[in-house]
Amino acid sequence: IGATVIDSLDTLYLMELKEEFQEAKAWVEENFHLNVSGEASLFEVNIRYIGGLLSAFYLTGEEVFRIKAIRLGEKLLPAFNTPTGIPKGVVSFKSGSWGWATAGSSSILAEFGSLHLEFLHLTELSGNQVFAEKVRNIRKVLRKIEKPFGLYPNFLSPVSGNWVQHHVSVGGLGDSFYEYLIKSWLMSGKTDMEAKNMYYEALEAIETYLLNVSPGGLTYIAEWRGGILDHKMGHLACFSGGMIALGAEDAKEEKRAHYRELAAQITKTCHESYARSDTKLGPEAFWFNSGREAVATQLSESYYILRPEVVESYMYLWRQTHNPIYREWGWEVVLVSLGEILSDRSRFLRDPRRVQ
């Protein structure tokens, strides 16, 4: 309960929506109770609740946000009670058990690999080393395990510590693992050499085995299934343009210009997925095959659910290059989205079935 409230705290504060921020803060103080039962996603609780609370604390210094973040972090710790220390994706707040982590189950790279930004801050703010120890162990396991061609598959058994299947994606199931590596390097004041090395090694493997250029000249990152490529990108993978731009500055000097150009090309491809759709909003996934490029080929992928990844890459590229095209592309998304909202409202108002 309240994920949207907490996830929006920093946005409300930065936008100077003071009344709404105070209302949200009061809700956190009075109604966000941690004595709950049931199960929850470790990943979602971390990035939305803990991440939101930490951001609000650093922006405001309000102690309530720090205390709630630490207490919630403590409730997530039982998820790490597995033979490998790799957490299961779901934590039971009632029992704190991990009994559902059976031998055939798996944890998802993007989920257990996207904890260390928040958990390192939980240690910093609490003085309790357990949070940092949990995420350092995740890296230890990932460094030790054999990786096919240097690639990180998306599913790992928290019981055996082995990959469950060899599916590699920079989109869903893998995405934020890579993002958290480069951001950990930056967050550490560029002292976390482990995160830096893991990021650039992973990026080199991605470029070697997943990166492709279509016949029409569009650069994209394919998905890898045991050596066979699916020539598609998910909308989620479109964050990678911004990520590669962010990491270009600290790459080897001879690679910096290359990474900036690669970031621009991937972002251009993701823009094409918008430009080539009927609504001018990008699909959930788009393919490069049979002469069709950067378009959804299946009805099950022909939808848009307010994903921010493409616009996120526009923002990073604008900040790095100040090329006005990225602001123009971002504004196009605003205008199209607003048009869809107004169109929906108009259809609703004209609907004779509407209750007057």
Catalytic pick among 23, 29, 39, 44: 44
Residue 133 annotated as catalytic: no
Confirm if 199 and 246 have CB atoms less than 8 A apart. no
Q: Judge whether 44 counts as a catalytic residue.
A: yes
Establish whether 175 is a catalytic residue.
yes
80 vs 46: CA distance, rounded Å:
13
Dihedral sign, Cα of residue 265, residue 267, residue 273, residue 276: negative
CB-based burial label for 230 (10 Å; 0-12, 13-18, 19+): middle
| Contact between residue 23 and residue 8 where contact means Cβ atoms under 8 Å apart | no
> Looking at 111, 179, 284, 293, which residue is catalytic?
284
CB-CB neighbours of 90 under 10 Å: 17
CA–CA distance, 187 with 125 (Å, rounded to integer) = 15
Annotated catalytic residue within 118, 223, 272, 309: 309
Residue of 175, 223, 293, 312 with catalytic role: 175
3-class SS of residue 129 = coil
Rounded CA separation 354/356 (Å): 6
Question: What amino acid positions are annotated as catalytic residues?
Answer: 44, 175, 284, 309
